[in-house]
Amino acid sequence: MSAPTQPAPATTRSDPYAPKGLSLTLESTGAILLALLWVLPLAYAVWAAFHPAEYTTRFVLTAPLTLDNFTRAWAAAPFARYFLNTFILVTLILTFQIVLGTLAAYALARQDFWGRDVAFVLILAQLMIMPDALIVENYRTLAKLNLIDTIPAIALPYIASAFGIFLLRQTFKTVPKELDDAARVEGASPLQVLMKVYVPLAKPTYVAYGLVSVSYHWNNFLWPLLVTNSVESRPLTVGLQVFSSADQGIDWAVICAATLMTSAPLLLGFLLFQRQFVQSFMRAGIK
Amino acid sequence: MTNRATATIHGWLLLLPAMACLALFTHWPAVASFIESFHSTPKARRPARFIGLDNYQQMLADPIFWKAMSNNLWFALGTIPTSIALALLMAVWVNDRIAGRTLVRMAFFTPTILPMIAVANIWLFFYTPQYGLLEQITGLFGARSTNWLGSQDTALYAITIVAIWKEAGFFMIFYLAALQAIPPSLGEAAAIEGASRWTFFRRIQFPLLMPTTLFVLINAVINAFRMVDHIFVMTRGGPDNATTLLLFYIYQVGFSFWDTAYAATLTCVLLALLALVAFVQYGWLERRTHYQ
């Protein structure tokens, strides 16, 4: 966000309250110290994961580097399967969230019909009633559907996302009505208008929502823990928890390696697309 | 008239898939929890029967429920103001042209991206007695060994700190966005008037950040009742329920003791708390025109 996406005035105009001299030094020092404190857990995990176990608590700069902890962690639990499960899970959730969200948002933003406001309030209710609070009843429903211990069971409570519908509705409302009318004059059906006019124009919102959704469900733990009990359906977070608590005599080096592995794809994605990540969280937050 | 009818059918058809899922996994479970809280837990030979307010009476007499409520209150009081204050400080810092701004910003935001369950493992090591990182640091100053997560006096603080660390960078993003949306002309005008940096912050920036603060506050309150992942790794509610939060207690009652009716009763309490938050937010959003 520093340079290219900033509007020009920020760089050409001078900010009279920008800290200078000593206050800038103090501010920088404070910020860097806090930043160091903030990355300390991650930095420690990197240290422990890439060094032999005897250096887990001894911080010697000459300690030899090794990938042994990663191979041991990889061999100790079916992480390949967990990765696949998580990948299927987040893809499944995001696909359904986008399809259901697009349809609902379009109806709410551009169709005028009986009961629309009631429907909107019913949808917004989910923003407050978080699915986490309803674990007991949702478990019962999925048990009745005979879906316990499957990946769809983890996904189902989340595929209709009030947040996604809300975000897309806001975006669709900003699409000029003239474009919609023009497409209709050309003889496009409502669904064609949606696909050809609204969806392409809302692309930045889809990207922003996608990043928020993927990182949320990649990291989600409590619900997957409840509905899964076998390797075939467990996502990474649950796999990691089973792995690190089943171990007798805690091997911190291996746990750190497994921890890094679990978060690696998101962490790499974050490092590569830092700006998009931060902006998508910003866009998702400011409604 | 027929036009209106077609529009209504079209509209509801578009809403149908999303509404069906919401009804099945949000609306119905909320209603079902409420109904079930007035019934007994069904057993193999004894189906659920209506017992009125018995579950609520049991709850009011349940010391663990009160412990979970007070823990959750202290957890909320510990995390909400601290993480919001830190987020504001971080945002002001990384909004200025400080050295290494991009890296600092990334450092603050990284915990948001990491799975709580994964970082809880690392924090667990930090807090480990005898050889944990915290122990080694306090050991340098000759402090005696503390079992941070194993002692009733410190366990709740320890998990509160993890939550603050996880959340502050996330909230920072919203403050940063809001700070950048403040027109530079306001700063110039204030400078011409001779206002100090502190006056400018207190009288102009901070009031303009009020909507962001409310948004962040509501998120922080909801998170205080939702965040339990690290408890599974770090304490499992112990020692002696010192770190049991409301949602974790619901999990225990529902899935360890299989007392589903009592779990439903506790769920109703959680839903009531969230409804209260919703009520406050609705009152606030009413006055926000950009919302419509």
Condensed to tens digits (0 to 9), the pLDDT of residues B17-50 reads 999 999 999 999 999 999 999 988 887 777 878 8
CB atoms within 10 A of CB A55: 18
Condensed to tens digits (0 to 9), the pLDDT of residues B93-124 reads 988 888 888 889 889 988 988 899 988 988 98
Tell me which residues of chain B, numbers 124 to 143, contact chain A at a CB-CB cutoff of 8 Å.
125-126, 131, 133, 136
pLDDT at res. B7: 83
Please indicate if any CB of chain A lies within 8 Å of the CB of B174. yes
Q: Do residues B111 and B166 make contact, with C-beta atoms less than 8 angstroms apart?
A: yes
Radius of gyration of the CA atoms of chain A, in A = 24
DSSP states of B45-63:
SS---B-TTHHHHHHHT-H
pLDDT at res. A273: 82
pLDDT at res. B285: 59
Query: Inter-chain contact B250–A136, Cβ cutoff 8 Å?
Result: yes
Of the residues A159, A191, A220, A222, the best mutation for testing chain B's interface (the one with the most B CB atoms within 10 Å of its CB) is A222
Confidence band (pLDDT; 50, 70, 90) for B89? very high
CA distance to partner chain B, nearest, from residue A100 (Å): 5
Query: Inter-chain contact B110–A17, Cβ cutoff 8 Å?
Result: no
CA A75 to chain centre: 27
Condensed to tens digits (0 to 9), the pLDDT of residues B178-194 reads 888 888 888 888 888 88
- Selection from A66, A95, A92, A224 nearest residue A148 by Cα: A224
DSSP state of A158: G
Per the structure block, which two tokens stand in for A142?
């999925």
pLDDT higher at B195 or B65: B65
Of the residues B25, B31, B88, the best mutation for testing chain A's interface (the one with the most A CB atoms within 10 Å of its CB) is B25
Query: Inter-chain contact A42–B122, Cβ cutoff 8 Å?
Result: yes
Q: CA triplet A225, B35, B43: central angle to 5 degrees?
A: 65
Amino acid A18 reads: A
Amino acid B133 reads: L
ipTM (interface pTM): 0.86
Chain A hits for B114, CB-CB cut-off 8 Å, are 42, 219, 263, 266-267
Tell me which residues of chain A, numbers 194 to 233, contact chain B at a CB-CB cutoff of 8 Å.
215, 218-219, 221-222, 225-226
CA distance to partner chain A, nearest, from residue B153 (Å): 23
Condensed to tens digits (0 to 9), the pLDDT of residues B117-155 reads 988 988 988 888 766 777 777 777 766 677 778 777 889
Provide φ and ψ at B39, rounded to 5°: -120, 165
Does the structure show a pLDDT above 70 at B210?
A: yes
Q: Do residues A241 and B81 make contact, with C-beta atoms less than 8 angstroms apart?
A: no
Confidence band (pLDDT; 50, 70, 90) for B284? low
Please indicate if any CB of chain B lies within 8 Å of the CB of A17. yes
CB atoms within 10 A of CB B97: 14
Query: Inter-chain contact A27–B96, Cβ cutoff 8 Å?
Result: yes
Query: Inter-chain contact B117–A219, Cβ cutoff 8 Å?
Result: yes
- Selection from A141, A277, A148, A147 nearest residue A218 by Cα: A277
Of the residues A108, A137, A192, the best mutation for testing chain B's interface (the one with the most B CB atoms within 10 Å of its CB) is A137
Q: Do residues B124 and B234 make contact, with C-beta atoms less than 8 angstroms apart?
A: yes
Query: Inter-chain contact A41–B228, Cβ cutoff 8 Å?
Result: no
Please indicate if any CB of chain A lies within 8 Å of the CB of B234. no
> Which of A103, A255, A285 is facing B17, going by the closest CB pair?
A103
CA A22 to chain centre: 39
CA distance to partner chain B, nearest, from residue A194 (Å): 11
Q: Do residues A228 and A152 make contact, with C-beta atoms less than 8 angstroms apart?
A: no
Task: Count A/B contacts: CB-CB distance under 8 Å.
Answer: 299
pLDDT at res. A94: 96
Query: Inter-chain contact A136–B267, Cβ cutoff 8 Å?
Result: yes
Token pair 């103090």 is at which residue?
A26
Which residues in chain A land under pLDDT 70? 1-14, 246-249, 285-287
